[in-house]
Amino acid sequence: MQEVVRKLPTSTMTLQMGPSHPASHGTSKFTVELDGETILAIDIEFGYLHRGFEKMCENVTWTQVVPYTDRLNYVSPLINNVGFYMAVEKIAEVKVPERALYIRTIISEMSRICDHLTCVAATAMELGGLSIFFYMIKARDRIWDLIEDITGARLTVSYVRIGGVMNDLPLDFAEKWKPVRSLVLAMLHDVDVMLTKNRIFIDRMRNTGIINGETAMAYGLTGPMLRGSGVKFDIRKASPYLVYDRVEFDVPVGAKGDNFDRYVVRMQEIKYAVSIIDQCLAQIPDGPFITDDPRLALPDKGSVYGSIEGTVDHFMHIMFGIQVPKGEAYSYVEGGNGELGFYVVSDGKGKPYRVRVRPPCFANLSALPTMITGALLADLVPTFDSINMIGGEIDR
Amino acid sequence: MTLAEVIIRLVMVALAIGLLMSIAPLLTWGERKWSALAQDRVGPNRAAIELAGKSITLNGLLYPLADGLKMIFKEDFMPTRGEKFLHFVSPWLAVFPALAVVAVIPLGARVNLFGHEIPMQVADLDAGILYLFAFASLSVYGSTLAGWASNNKYGLLGSLRTSSMLISYEVAMGLTLVGLMMTVGSLRLSDIVEYQQGTMLGFLPRWGIFMQPFGALLFFVSAFAETKRAPFDLPEAESELVAGYFIEYSGMKFGMFYLGEFVEVVTGACLFAVLFFGGWQLPWASSEAYYNPLVVGIGGFISTAYLVFFVITLLGLPLRDPRIQFAIAAGGFLGGAGLALLSGAEGLLGPKGGVLGLILSNGPELAKLLMSLMVFTMKILILCWFHILLRWTYPRFRYDQVMKLGWKMLLPAALVNLVVTGIVLLIIR
Amino acid sequence: MAESKKEIKTYISDASDDMTWHERLYVPALAKGFGVFAKHFFRNLLGDKEEGDTGTIQYPEQKIAYSERWRGAHRLTKRPDGSTKCVACMMCSTACPAQCIHIIAKEVDDPNVEKAPEVFVIDELRCIFCGMCVEACPKDAIRMDTGIHVPAMYSREEAVWDLDKLISNKGVRGNV
Amino acid sequence: MSVKALEKVAKKFASEVIDKHSNAGDDTLIVKRAKIKEILKFCRDDKELKFEFCMDVCGMDYLGYPNQDRFEVVYHLYSVTHNHRLRIRARVPENDPVIDTSVDIWPGTNWFEREVWDMYGVKFKGHPDLRRILMYEEFQGHPLRKDYPVNKRQPLIGPQN
């Protein structure tokens, strides 16, 4: 008998996921080429949330940029605030009071907790573990309550000012932090029991979305993604800003660079962030929370209402804005997803000449095709989640 | 077949379908409420009916009603280039087999009432388990065809996943039950239940789960997979395939898939109760114990108290309130006492005439019937609760992992179970 | 780099290499996870609903108390005689990043008052609630302590709040 | 350490350097565009520099600044090994806004360069996939150029005017 080999005529399938798809987080579109369920190629399209952040910043005063930065990474707006003003302070060579540095550290770490909680919660939810999402979001909400206490808003905080912050910490902040702290830690324990040893979860996360340290660096990955790949780089350690050199914490590092490592790194970082806040609250000195330089900060309300100098300072400040000297600076903070860089150029005219933001998840997402090609369609979900793309930040 | 027999059969059909159709919508409520409790939420509690100026919410119990109404009046969307006939027919294919399974399940003890032998099941087939498998495999068609007929890539992927997953798990499910069949020596479900009376090894109830613990676990996993609920919900995988095979369904057609899923949960619980939890049997007791007023009293107390407790949690009443605790105890006491009285009254009072006499003379049988029905319902409810809570605990598998679990873990394990059972039986007999 | 390679390596992950045997069995870890989940269930079922774990606010019947600094809709504070404290200095509209405040000044006969607003409108749809107007005010005339959200409206015009509306808003902590 | 990096690159490519400074603690090197690829490659490969990261690539528009080319492409480099940073600014003239791509040095610059093209219209020679990234394909012009009006409307989005 003659052997007849017949090949079925097969073709690949192009599947469009998004921009309105549960896994696309609302603002990105994947065009996936599938062979069965194996991803052969992926094209990522975003920009649906683009609102011209950089263009807008060039047309407002230095102070008025803050509300725009709130809307970059909307899960951790306070880190954006801090990052932007650190760049401005770098050009203007402003000395920030001690207390303000501590406050900035505390709020940065609170934001980091929120960011990581959201990321892990979303991962768990999109893998089907909806309950973990609720536990984590509940804890995040408690932190947002605290942020509301400090800043006056939950999300659009606009809290940081040049040379300090807008308000002092509330008097009872340390009291209110205690129950939140224990809630976060209890929740972490629960989630740990439900996920970390759970084979279903391990199977989904281990060995999916692998990226090794070298490739990760070449792609410019930072933050938990880079640390998951085993590169011990954390700006808080590498070039300590604020008061990170005065608190003790460790930088968790993964081994394989897969989704599970990133999950573990994030969970660890939440614990360290909690401990950093504790240490800051123990160390925080009394004192002013904003610089008293009248060219940079508004005078306090008492002197505005009471004295003619105060009133004049106030008028000058509002009418002419902050005068940032000519120059350029690139400042970098450790955002929730990695290095959040602000490259600010001033021409000395009262408005930023250029505000460039380096969104961490922009670089992180650009590595997705290398991480996901050849894997199964279902792997796209945890991988994309562990990248933690935030629409407001990547699209600006 | 006499007229009486026909009537009995019809009543049984009504009872079986009624049981399913009352528990299944309740479960849609229970799913939301129980998952809410475990997730530190309150759950839906806003659907209300305005009655005499007061809005009655019944702790969200009206949601199944509102859902039903909504689904009936919602637009029935049909994709333009879909396969019209199959698109129409597949929801029925999904619901019907799930409903048909209940026909062979003994809901209560076989009793002899008013001179008629009444089996509490629609059809007591010799090949009951085979019938189950036959209908379970039919249910694959519903979801497979639904995805294919929708002309949607997500639907197609979903239906492919369904067909391969369900068929794989049926193999494992069939094999796990062979061990039980060997132990009992019959495929008839009523025989299996009868077999599970009394004790084994002196201290354990002679239930399937103790005779075949490993088989029970395997069967539970594969039956769970058959319901297509998380962690086995890859066919609908919300975050990847959006809704999978029923992505293009809306209105009552979607409602039927939804209902079908919950009916499957109930039938799954029924099956599990019948095969591994002694069906309507009381633990440790033989089926003759149903004629013992004391046993009936205690059993009645527990099961009535549980049912009252269930209703109270349904209504969202605070269990801390001493009055509520009293109500539960009182309900249980009344139920237990009533049943015990019904069972033992004739023995105490002696034979009586008239209608009372007729009832009293059938008292033990009646008590047995009620009691067994209640015990069975209680078992189903607990199993359903367990099933639903499990669904919300775990993340879902990936497609290849679920197949690996089915073929590389469950199937060999089932074979091992089979061999071990055979050896043990050989030694014992 | 990696992308230039046309050949695609298909891999299916196998996590079993670094799991302990009891992790590999699924059941122990799953049972533990279910235990945590059931713990939450019974704590909420048997616990006190009022101070239970849910922390749900039954809005609109219940409302949470906003923090003292919470920035809500604006109001203009008043002098003892009922007129606004605003002197139409335009500080707030200058500071506003959203350009949602529009003021037209007028002269007033009272020698103690320099100026007063003839028109003072805030477009609450444009407002981003950053609080910069409050910071900018040298007279403590504008505040955001009303504790109200800007409600939903049927037309854009309704969102433009004028002087009367802003004066009539009350502060949460007393109307100064 | 950090000054050394700046000096080393400046010395190696002395003919390419237009200017250099370390204002506000940021080492900055302003270079001509012609040999940008060699410069960046040197930065990555040299043992003492070892810039594994190209943290950021962004455009700049110096419209109206006399005596200099209109555009600039700014690279922010970082080295984990030596924990130092370097900013390299490459001047790109308006009449021929083209510069060599750095995608084959750091694959991560792929999207950053797409963004520079999208926002400033600077082309990258040798870029594998130079499409718009934040704006849509049909968008006219390059929005971050200083001569692109802030309030300009495009036909596909927003109200027409």
Pairwise CB contact (< 8 Å): C27 & B400 = no
Q: What are the tokens at D107?
A: 């694959």
3-class DSSP state for residue B259?
Answer: helix
CB A267 within 8 A of CB A284: no
Q: What are the tokens at B143?
A: 């979801």
Q: Is D1 on the interface with A (CB under 8 A)?
A: no
- Please choose, from the candidates A152, A122, A126, A153, the residue with its C-alpha nearest in 3D space to the C-alpha of residue A135: A122
Neighbours of D67 (CB within 10 A): 4
Q: Is A202 on the interface with B (CB under 8 A)?
A: no
The minimal CB distance from B399 to the residues A200, A201, A378 is found for A378
Pairwise CB contact (< 8 Å): C40 & B318 = no
CATH of the domain at C100: 3.30.70.3270
The number of residues making up chain A comes to 396
3-class DSSP state for residue A234?
Answer: coil
Q: How many whole angstroms from its chain centre is CA A10?
A: 44
Q: Where are the domains of chain A?
A: 13-395
Say which residue, B300 or A32, is predicted with more confidence.
A32
Alpha-carbon dihedral sign for residues D151, D153, D159, D161 = positive
Task: Tell me the residue type at D104.
Answer: D
Angstrom CA distances, D152 to A21, A60, A94, C99, D159, stand at: 31, 17, 36, 18, 11
Beta strands at D28-31 and D84-92: parallel, antiparallel or unpaired: parallel
Q: Where are the domains of chain B?
A: 1-66, 74-281+398-428, 289-382
Using an 8 Å CB-CB cutoff, list chain D residues near C3.
Answer: 107, 128
| Separation of alpha carbons C65 and C48, rounded Å | 22
Domain count, chain C: 2
Q: Where are the domains of chain D?
A: 2-125
3-class DSSP state for residue A374?
Answer: coil
- The nearest CA of chain B is from the CA of A149 a distance in Å of 24
pLDDT at B347 over 80: no
Using an 8 Å CB-CB cutoff, list chain A residues near C135.
Answer: 166, 298
Pairwise CB contact (< 8 Å): A134 & B41 = yes
- The nearest CA of chain A is from the CA of B390 a distance in Å of 10
Residue D59 phi/psi, 5-degree rounding, is -100, 160
Residues C136, C161: one domain?
Answer: yes
Residues C37, C80: one domain?
Answer: no
Indicate the pLDDT class of residue C7, thresholds 50, 70 and 90: very low
**Which residue's entry shows tokens 């019907």?**
B96
User: B150: which residues sit within 8 A by CB, 6+ positions away?
Assistant: B79, B82, B87, B156, B245, B247, B248, B249
Pairwise CB contact (< 8 Å): B395 & A138 = no
Beta bridge partners of A35: A38
D2-125: CATH number: 3.30.460.80
Residue A74 phi/psi, 5-degree rounding, is -75, -5
CB D43 within 8 A of CB D9: yes
Q: Which domain holds residue C56?
A: 10-64
Measure the N-to-C terminal CA separation of chain C; round to a whole number of Å.
Answer: 67
Indicate the pLDDT class of residue B375, thresholds 50, 70 and 90: confident
CB B341 within 8 A of CB B301: no
DSSP states along B142-159: HHHHHHHHTT-HHHHHHH
pLDDT (0 to 100) of residue C69: 84
Pairwise CB contact (< 8 Å): C98 & A67 = yes
| Separation of alpha carbons D148 and A377, rounded Å | 41
3-class DSSP state for residue B200?
Answer: strand
* pLDDT one-digit tens code per residue, D104-137: 888 888 899 998 998 888 888 888 888 888 888 8
Indicate the pLDDT class of residue C53, thresholds 50, 70 and 90: low
Q: Is A18 on the interface with B (CB under 8 A)?
A: no
Q: Which range, of A114-123, A184-193, A365-374, C111-120, averages the lowest pLDDT?
A: C111-120
The minimal CB distance from B38 to the residues C37, C55, C56 is found for C37
Fold of A13-395: Cytochrome-c3 Hydrogenase; chain B (1.10.645)
Q: What is the mean pLDDT of residues C116-133?
A: 86
- The nearest CA of chain C is from the CA of D150 a distance in Å of 15
Pairwise CB contact (< 8 Å): A203 & B38 = no
Residue A315 phi/psi, 5-degree rounding, is -65, -45
pLDDT at B63 over 60: yes
The number of residues making up chain B comes to 429
Residue of C12, C26, C45, C57 to mutate when probing chain B, most B C-beta within 10 A: C45
Beta bridge partners of D65: none
Of chain A, the percentage scoring pLDDT greater than 70 comes to: 98
Please give the mean pLDDT across all residues of chain D: 84
Indicate the pLDDT class of residue C17, thresholds 50, 70 and 90: low
User: A43: which residues sit within 8 A by CB, 6+ positions away?
Assistant: A30, A31, A369
Beta bridge partners of A160: A165
Q: How many whole angstroms from its chain centre is CA D40?
A: 11
The number of residues making up chain C comes to 176
